[in-house]
Amino acid sequence: MAEVLVFHHGHGLTAGVREFAEHLRRAGHTVHAPDLYEGKVFDSLEDGMGYAENAGFDTIIERGTAATEGLPAELVYVGFSLGVLPAQKLAQTRPGAKGALLLEACVPVSEFGGAWPQDVPVQIHGMDADPFFAGEGDVDAARAVARAAVDAELFLYPGDRHLFTDSSLPSYDEQAAMQVNHRVLSFLDRIKRS
């Protein structure tokens, strides 16, 4: 059993993110899904990102870091889009990280102090024509992480949807999301055996 910390995307802690966390729990993992938006959930990504911008991305990352208080060091960090910021930062900088799952976003490792830690496996998922993931450079950062990390997997899915893994949003792609879920569970099974 792995212990997992899941960070939501720009809409907030939606029913789809909660469902993903519950899916991992049913597979036997201990899952924490903190609310970085203080109870707010937004219907539109634009409104949600407006909230994040007003709060400050550093504040969102700080809230993610604060969510680790009282938790063991040996966590797998999961981030959906915006949630990749705290997930990737913690995977790169918090000693003891067991792994990182970066969904629909990735930032250059230089954002959080340099190289990807060699003992932290990573799995990255995104759509190959997603205007955010593919169009704003995240896929390039993902490829760089995949080249630099000792244990890395990058999965690109055909399509142009952002947040295709959230079952509560119109952008949901059931077939691709099922592949993501299968690969995530395989990753976590590998982590818990190590």
- The whole-number pLDDT of residue 194 equals 56
- The whole-number pLDDT of residue 193 equals 56
Q: What is the pLDDT of residues 42-84, one digit of tens each?
A: 999 999 999 999 999 999 999 999 999 999 999 999 999 999 9
Per the structure, the count of domains in the chain is 1
Range of the domain at 162: 3-193
- The whole-number pLDDT of residue 153 equals 97
Q: Which residues of the chain have pLDDT under 50?
A: none
CA 68 remoteness from chain centre:
15
Give, for 85, the enclosing helix (H) or strand (E). helix 84-93
Tokens 């003891």 correspond to what residue?
A: 96
Rounded to whole angstroms, the Cα distance separating 173 from 178 reads: 9
For residue 90, give the CATH number of its domain.
Answer: 3.40.50.1820
Q: Which residues contact 66 (CB under 8 A, 6 or more apart)?
A: none
- The whole-number pLDDT of residue 191 equals 87
Rounded to whole angstroms, the Cα distance separating 58 from 61 reads: 5
CB 163 within 8 A of CB 11: yes
CA 82 remoteness from chain centre:
8
Rounded to whole angstroms, the Cα distance separating 79 from 7 reads: 5
